[in-house]
């Protein structure tokens, strides 16, 4: 049960100032991830600290394009490549001395898996269904707090199979943090 992702993962907070975030896929899942990144980004972030975003997909949701276009912080910091992913894309896109994170969330699960393997081989952290070296849980970004909630399976390993449960708990914690007297 849940063997596909039966691994322990450690919650950490990563600095992604100036990092290169590569998203393969242009659907709803990628839209959510990009929204999460933008929500976590301070409004007054220095231009040099803004992470750059690249999206590779034959079709990219208009909502994603609009979101990036409307966000002034992202002006000049994103790149839309509207075609299918090629294996040498990572070599082309990745630069030296910059942290990279890759999300592979296309509708083709075998492509996602192969991107995950490619990243693993290159030592790049990747969130690809079936081959994840990192996950995002339900995130709460509150003044003074950053919170990450993940559901675990019965063997106490991360499965992420119940995002609704993680989200509900996140909301409860938010309520607690907002209402509990100091």
Partner 1 sequence: MYMPFMIQIRKAVVFAGERGEGLQKVEKLSIYADQVLVIPEKHCDYQEILFPAGPIVHGTEILEFSSAKTAKVQAKIANKNNYKQAIKGADFVCSDLLDRKLNQKIFAYCKKKGIRCNVIDTKDLCDTWFMSLIDVPGMLVGISSKGGCAYYSKQSRQELHEQIRARGQMSLALVEVKEFIKQANNKMDGPTLGLSVIPTLAKVYNDQTFRNFMAREQNQDALEYARSIVAAPTGGQ
Question: CA-CA distance, 23 to 103, in Å (whole number)?
Answer: 5
172 forms part of the interface with partner 1 (CB under 8 A): yes
Question: CA-CA distance, 96 to 99, in Å (whole number)?
Answer: 8
Q: Which residue's CB is nearer to partner 1, number 20 or number 59?
A: 20
Site for partner 1 in 14-53 (CB under 8 A): 14-17, 37, 40-42, 45, 49, 51
CB 53 within 8 A of CB 68: yes
12 forms part of the interface with partner 1 (CB under 8 A): yes
Q: Which residue's CB is nearer to partner 1, number 17 or number 82?
A: 17
Site for partner 1 in 83-142 (CB under 8 A): 96-97, 99-100, 123-125, 132-137, 139
Smallest distance from partner 1 to CB 171, Å: 11
177 forms part of the interface with partner 1 (CB under 8 A): yes
- Using the contact rule CB under 8 A, the part of the chain among 23-31, 75-83, 106-114, 152-160 near partner 1 is 152-160
Helix 28-40 crosses helix 62-70 at what angle (to 10 degrees)? 20
Q: Which residue's CB is nearer to partner 1, number 83 or number 127?
A: 127
71 forms part of the interface with partner 1 (CB under 8 A): no
- Using the contact rule CB under 8 A, the part of the chain among 52-60, 62-70, 109-117, 169-177 near partner 1 is 169-177
CA distances (Å), 172 to each of 117, 140, 166, 176, in order?
36, 11, 10, 6
Cα 58 to the center of its chain, rounded Å: 20
Q: Are strands 131-132 and 125-128 parallel, antiparallel or unpaired?
A: antiparallel
Sign of CA dihedral 135, 80, 121, 128: positive
77 forms part of the interface with partner 1 (CB under 8 A): no
- Token representation of residue 43: 């409004």
How many residues appear in the chain? 182
End-to-end CA, the chain: 42
Q: Which residues bind partner 1 (CB under 8 A)?
A: 7-17, 37, 40-42, 45, 49, 51, 96-97, 99-100, 123-125, 132-137, 139, 144-154, 156, 158, 161-162, 165-166, 168-169, 172-173, 176-177, 180
């Amino acid at each position: 049960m849940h063997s596909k992702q039966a691994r322990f993962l450690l919650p950490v907070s990563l600095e992604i100032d100036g990092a290169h975030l590569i998203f393969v896929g242009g659907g709803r899942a990628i839209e959510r991830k990009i929204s999460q990144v933008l929500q976590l980004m301070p409004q007054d972030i220095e231009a040099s600290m803004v992470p750059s975003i690249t999206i590779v997909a034959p079709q990219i949701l208009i909502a994603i394009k609009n979101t990036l276009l409307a966000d002034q912080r992202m002006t000049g910091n994103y790149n839309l490549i509207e075609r299918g992913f090629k294996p040498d894309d990572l070599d082309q896109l990745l630069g030296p001395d910059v942290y990279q994170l890759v999300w592979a969330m296309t509708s083709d699960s075998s492509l996602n898996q192969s991107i995950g393997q490619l990243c693993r081989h290159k030592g790049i952290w990747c969130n690809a269904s079936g081959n994840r070296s990192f996950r995002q849980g339900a995130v709460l970004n509150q003044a003074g707090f950053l919170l990450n909630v993940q559901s675990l399976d019965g063997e106490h390993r991360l499965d992420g199979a119940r995002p609704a449960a993680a989200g509900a708990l996140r909301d409860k914690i938010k309520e607690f943090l907002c209402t509990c007297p100091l």
